[in-house]
Structure 1
Amino acid sequence: MGQFSMTISAVAGSNLSGNQQSSGIIFINRNGLRWRNAPREYGQPKTLYNRWKRWGDMGVFARMKFLMTAGQTSDHTGAAALLDSLPAAEWMIADRGYDADWFREALKDKRIRPRIPGRKSRSKAVPYDKRRYPRHNRIEIMFGSLKDWRRVATRYDRCAETFLSALAATAIFWL
């Protein structure tokens, strides 16, 4: 959070403090308000929106990796796009939606042990770590807490870049 605050205050440059403006932006994202309905103590709505948009354009939130896919895209197909940017890890926990032989092999090529249960329709059962797999519910808990932020839950933003910025800011507060 400290590095995020330093980045915000380095970009701020109006009569209000960077803290007031960043608080206004957080307030808007948390409550899902329109920018024009921002409380005046946070500054002019246009200033808040322009700052928010500028942060997204500058890549303030780009350190977090997100990929937006179409609603009907399968999990493992969407994961293929993120495969090259995966950090070094010992193992990866995923649910049955990621069960594909090519995905398992790609993880093994990166020296990541997959902890993915096989689909029920598989003819041959795939071994997985039953001791570690119960931790996968933490991902579901994370998505539940992201949806507490109304702007993310209802996807008010028309622009994919501003939506991904809202998602990243929300994830920062979850972490």
Structure 2
Amino acid sequence: MSRRRYELTDYEWSVIQPLLPNKSRGVPRVDDRRVINGILWRFRTGSPWADIPERYGPPTTCYNRFVRWRQAGVWDRLLQEIARAYDGDIIMIDSSCVRVHQQAAANKKGDRDDGGMGRSRGGLTTKIHALVDAEGRPVDLKLTAGQAHDGKTGESLLGYLNADGILLADKAYDSSSIRSLAAERGAWANIPARKNRRESFTFSQYLYRYRNLVERFFGKIKQFRGIATRYDRKPENYLAALKLASLRIWLKSYESAA
């Protein structure tokens, strides 16, 4: 059977396999590559877990392993290990809202934020905050409710900014605290100033045009229908799916350069 376009390539699997948990003792578990392909199928199509094709093993196995590995931090570690090539010379931050499907909001009471679900102009939404490198590859991701302000969450992403690095962001991130944090790290915040700003700041329109890479990142991950719309009730599961999709962006960049 030929490989589906959303399944792991041999190269991708060769990178991921050594980083996965060792096989447990006892009854042999369903092949990891097969299960991960099933998980990818679910998020690529946006289908319910129960609809995962038999070729990927029992749907309950795919779901249980996805959740178990999320709880064990496996998806976090995979992205951290594979994103080690990040150098921090230029980073970009931005956010994007996604609609929350009614099945994800089934247990929602009021408008209280669950760690990634709230009210905004588009109704019930989740906001994805991303930091990407100079090639548009994701380094860090966070979730907030759709109505959350970009600047506050943006501050929490600046730990990856290196000395002499450059931060690219739009006007939503023009705050004294973000500029101060960048300066404290010996970096330069190339952010256009808001119209009501009294101070003036050095700004390069030439460098700013590269910020489209973070917008292109959002375009790539939203090719996954299960990410373009949030179907998962638990924000931890949705964030884990984002990291899995981000992982593939890194792997594809490595594979194309190999």
TM-based fold match above 0.5: yes
What's the offset of the Cα at 1:54? 1.1
Match of 2:171 among 77, 84, 96: 96
Q: Determine the C-alpha separation between the residues in 2 that align with 1:115 and 1:4.
A: 35
Pairing of 1:5-154 with structure 2 (within 5 A)? 5-8=17-20, 10=22, 14-62=28-76, 63=80, 65-83=140-158, 85-88=159-162, 90-154=165-229
Q: 1:103-137: per-residue Cα shift (whole Å, max 9, x none)? A: 10111101121111111232343221222110001
- Whichever residue aligns with residue 10 of structure 1, its letter is N
- Percent identity, aligned pairs only, is 30
Q: Determine the C-alpha separation between the residues in 2 that align with 1:61 and 1:9.
A: 11
C-alpha spacing 1:109/1:11, structure 2 compared with 1 (3 Å)? farther
SS for the counterpart of 1:69 is strand
Q: Which runs of 5+ in 2 are unaligned?
A: 1-11, 81-138, 251-258
Structure with more of its chain in helix, by fraction: 1
Q: Which runs of 5+ in 1 are unaligned?
A: none
Q: Contact 1:35–1:49 at 8 Å: present in 2 too?
A: yes
Structure with more of its chain in strand, by fraction: 2
C-alpha spacing 1:164/1:111, structure 2 compared with 1 (3 Å)? same
Q: Determine the C-alpha separation between the residues in 1 that align with 2:232 and 2:147.
A: 20
C-alpha spacing 1:14/1:149, structure 2 compared with 1 (3 Å)? farther
TM-score by length of 1: 0.89
What's the offset of the Cα at 1:81? 2.8
Q: Contact 2:161–2:185 at 8 Å: present in 1 too?
A: no
What's the offset of the Cα at 1:87? 4.5
Q: Determine the C-alpha separation between the residues in 2 that align with 1:103 and 1:115.
A: 11
SS for the counterpart of 1:25 is helix
SS for the counterpart of 2:140 is coil
- Whichever residue aligns with residue 4 of structure 1, its letter is I
Pairing of 1:156-171 with structure 2 (within 5 A)? 156-171=231-246
What's the offset of the Cα at 1:41? 0.9
